Amino acid sequence: MALPRLIFVTGKGGTGKSTIAAALALAFAQRGRCLLASLDGRASAAQMLDFGQGGESVARRTSKVPEPLTLDRRTELEAFIGRIVPMRAIANRMLRSRTFGYVTAAVPGLEAFLLMERMRTIAGDAALNNYHVVADAPASGNALEMLSVAGGVRGLAPLGVLNRIANGVEALLTDSRRFGVLVTATPDELSVLEALDIARRLDELHIAPIAMLLNCAVDSMFEASELEALRKLDGHHQLAVRRRELARRTDTARRRLKSAGVDLIELPMLFCAELHGRELSSLARRLGDTLLANEAAA
Amino acid sequence: MKPLLESILARRLVICVGPGGVGKTTSSAMFGLSAAGAGRAVDVMTIDPAPRLLDALGLDTASNAPQAVDLNGLAARRGGRMRAMRLDPKHTFDRIVASYAPSAVARDAILENRIYRNLSAALAGIADYMAIERLLELHEQGGADLIVLDTPPAAEAMEFLDAPRRLLEFLNSRAVTLLGASGSMLRGGISLVDLAARAVLSAFDRVTGLHLLRDVQGFVRGFDGMYPGFADRAARAQALLRDKSCIAIIVTTAEPGRSAQVRSFVDGLTATGVAIGAVLVNRVSPALPRPVGARRSDVASAIRRKLGANLADFRALKRREVGALAAIREIVPEGVPLIIAPDLGHEPRRLSDLIEIGRRLKPA
């Protein structure tokens, strides 16, 4: 099955969302055109592709890199007000007014909602022009707000512009050819619980998860029998025990994530002091081999 | 480390702040237990504890009521006790509204207002404000020698401690005037500019189909009469946070990118006037062994190779950690202790794990 046009990468904070989004976009870019969208207004994923100091940047290793795109909530709100309030002076005044700030703050998720509307137009363009978009989405809580906000807005606004937009956004989210979610986790227990929670919420929202991605997977390296023989090497014994503990957590996480009934893919823990172009390219290769194996070359 | 821990725990109020996923809740429980062990009556307020931590504390996962932690086997000094409670922002807000509403009708008008329902459920700021509210409540009840407050993971570092001021500002703002409040909330008259803005807002309301203005007005009017109560509480909460008996502990881990987050907490706390008691770096890995000598004949070469590979892997992680710790050290203001808590190699499963972390704290 082909991957959707827009892939929304989310998970608990600290599970490597930006790294994974950057690596996935890189894998796509090796095969055709790809946009790497950062939804936090900070382009943290795009920065991954261009580590300045100390290491080789991906951009210098290959010419086939994804195109960065930085989106943020405030800009989308401004664009929206500009559309519905035709006079620029009034639109600007409204945006500057603190009162308006309070009103928008009181409509939960208005800005997130407008960001989703932007996702819809981007996914439409990607389908039309045959490319893919990888979105480095916020951590679970905010991401779920983005994914469920359309339904809420429709409830608040039974008629009018926002109602029409809400219908469009919901149609995007439930169309598995245009939209899918990649849920990231690490062997850390809380991140696994959060990933399972996201999977449940996606199911309720009729949004298709692409896969659960277990990042930082560790292999045990030592057999239990070998551990016994290491007792005389105190420090090394402890280190081997730590290794096996990480591997055990990986196993538990794997088992739990599989229970969601969604494909599970894994990326290994990178034992390195800093992440450089070489490491990112190796992650991209792995993602290419698993997730993109069935993608037709563009 | 003992004097340092004791000076932290001699306060009346310890607030653990920090980014998500660094073990704030674990640290809060650790501080609470250490103080209870030393004979103090402690209340620990947590936000969203991991199931395993609740297990470790022997607490019911579902309940929000204060629960006594069983200190048996801890050899706590006389008078030592610990209660843990989870914060439910929505419930706290409802209770406060109920207690300040001038009448049952006013109370129901607020609780059923669409804006209020969305505000209290969806806005992160409200959860922050409620944590502070609950803190004030506990403090004023005066049942504990020490209150340890675990805070929600803050995206914008200091939103949390700033919450009382922001709520006051909202209630006291031109927005409120503009949207048609009356009586005690009205500050000055409505200007032409305000009238124009109001007309634009109504147009926005019609085009978007939200019909929000009516609800916003209802919300604001509903607060009429409650304003003095809220303002008074917010002012008391602010004073409490700035009091000498209150310190904040910035909790972090030694991972790349944390130093920038620590900096934003340092700046935020300094700006709000809350004293920084310490910066606590959680889950710092133990020192590494030296490589196995090539001449050791009692270790099979296959195993030796594995040990070498394993050591190389952990050395790389250690370099990452050392770099991150050095970056954090640069950020810590002068006179503020930087404390390291060990990684136990597993998540805390028992009370004794938390006690052990407390015992093994050391200056970085």
Q: What are the DSSP calls for chain A, one per residue? A: -PPPSEEEEEESTTS-HHHHHHHHHHHHHTTS-EEEEESSSS-HHHHHTT--SSS--HHHH-S--PEEEE--HHHHHHHHHHHHS--HHHHHHHHH-HHHHHHHHHSTTHHHHHHHHHHHHHHHHHHHTT-EEEEEPPPHHHHHHHHHHHHHHHHH-SSSHHHHHHHHHHHHHT-TTTEEEEEEE-SSHHHHHHHHHHHHHHHHTT--EEEEEEEEE----S-HHHHHHTTTSHHHHHHHHHHHHHHHHHHHHHHHHHTTSS-EEEEE----SS--HHHHHHHHHHHHHHTTTTSPP-
Closest partner residue to A190 (CB to CB) among B50, B211, B317 is B50
Residues 245-284 of B with CB under 8 A from A: 255-256
Print the domain residue range for A120: 6-218+264-290
Instruction: Give B283's Cβ-side CA count (13 Å radius).
Output: 18
Instruction: Assess B344–A contact: CB distance below 8 Å, yes or no.
Output: no
Closest partner residue to B21 (CB to CB) among A14, A160, A229 is A14
Nearest CA distance, B100 vs chain A (angstrom): 22
Instruction: Assess B346–A contact: CB distance below 8 Å, yes or no.
Output: yes
Model confidence at B59, pLDDT cuts 50, 70, 90, reads confident
Size of interface A-B (CB pairs under 8 A): 152
As a whole number, mean pLDDT of residues A202-211 equals 94
Interface test with A, best of B198, B208, B303, B315 (most A CBs within 10 A): B208
Model confidence at A74, pLDDT cuts 50, 70, 90, reads confident
Residues A188, B343: contact at Cβ < 8 Å? Answer: no
Instruction: Assess B326–A contact: CB distance below 8 Å, yes or no.
Output: no
Nearest CA distance, A267 vs chain B (angstrom): 16
Nearest CA distance, B232 vs chain A (angstrom): 22
**Mean pLDDT computed over every residue of chain A:** 85
Closest CA in chain A for residue B119? A106
Which residues, listed in sequence order, are joined to residue B250 by a DSSP beta bridge? B17, B279
Residues B100, B226: contact at Cβ < 8 Å? Answer: yes
Number of domains in chain A: 1
Q: Is residue A54 part of a domain?
A: yes
| A224-279 confidence digits (pLDDT tens) | 888 888 888 889 999 999 999 999 999 999 999 999 999 999 999 999 988 888 88
pLDDT, residue A231, reads 86
ipTM of the complex: 0.86
pLDDT, residue A98, reads 59
By CB atoms closer than 10 A (0-12, 13-18, 19+), residue B226 is: buried
Residues A44, A136: contact at Cβ < 8 Å? Answer: yes
Q: Which of B254, B315, B257, B243 is nearest to B283 (CA)?
A: B254
Inter-chain CB proximity B197 and A94 less than 8 Å: yes
- Say what percent of chain B tops pLDDT 70: 70
Instruction: Assess B202–A contact: CB distance below 8 Å, yes or no.
Output: no
Structural domains of chain B, with CATH: 2-287+295-363 (3.40.50.300)
Nearest CA distance, A151 vs chain B (angstrom): 14
User: Which residues of chain B neighbour A139 with C-beta distances below 8 Å?
Assistant: 20
User: Which residues of chain A neighbour B313 with C-beta distances below 8 Å?
Assistant: 243, 271
**Given phi > 0 = left and psi -120 to 50 = alpha, else beta, which region is A159?**
beta
For residues B91 and B100, give the distance between their C-alpha atoms in angstroms, rounded to a whole number.
15
Say which amino acid occupies A215. Answer: N
Q: Is residue A237 part of a domain?
A: no
Q: Choose between A194 and B172: higher pLDDT.
A: A194
Inter-chain CB proximity A273 and B316 less than 8 Å: yes
CATH no. for residue A14? 3.40.50.300
Report whether pLDDT(A52) > 50: no
Q: Choose between B183 and B133: higher pLDDT.
A: B133
Q: Is residue A211 part of a domain?
A: yes
Report whether pLDDT(B196) > 90: no
Interface test with A, best of B310, B314, B318, B321 (most A CBs within 10 A): B310
Model confidence at B124, pLDDT cuts 50, 70, 90, reads very low
Element (H, E) at B33: helix B24-37
pLDDT, residue B2, reads 67
Q: Is residue A227 part of a domain?
A: no
B80 to B32, B40, B299, B361: CA distances (angstroms):
10, 4, 51, 21
Report whether pLDDT(B106) > 60: yes
Q: Is residue A228 part of a domain?
A: no
pLDDT, residue A232, reads 86
By CB atoms closer than 10 A (0-12, 13-18, 19+), residue B250 is: buried
**Mean pLDDT computed over every residue of chain B:** 79
Q: Is residue A36 part of a domain?
A: yes
pLDDT, residue A213, reads 98
- At residue A286's C-alpha, the angle toward residues A280 and A288, to 5°, is 100
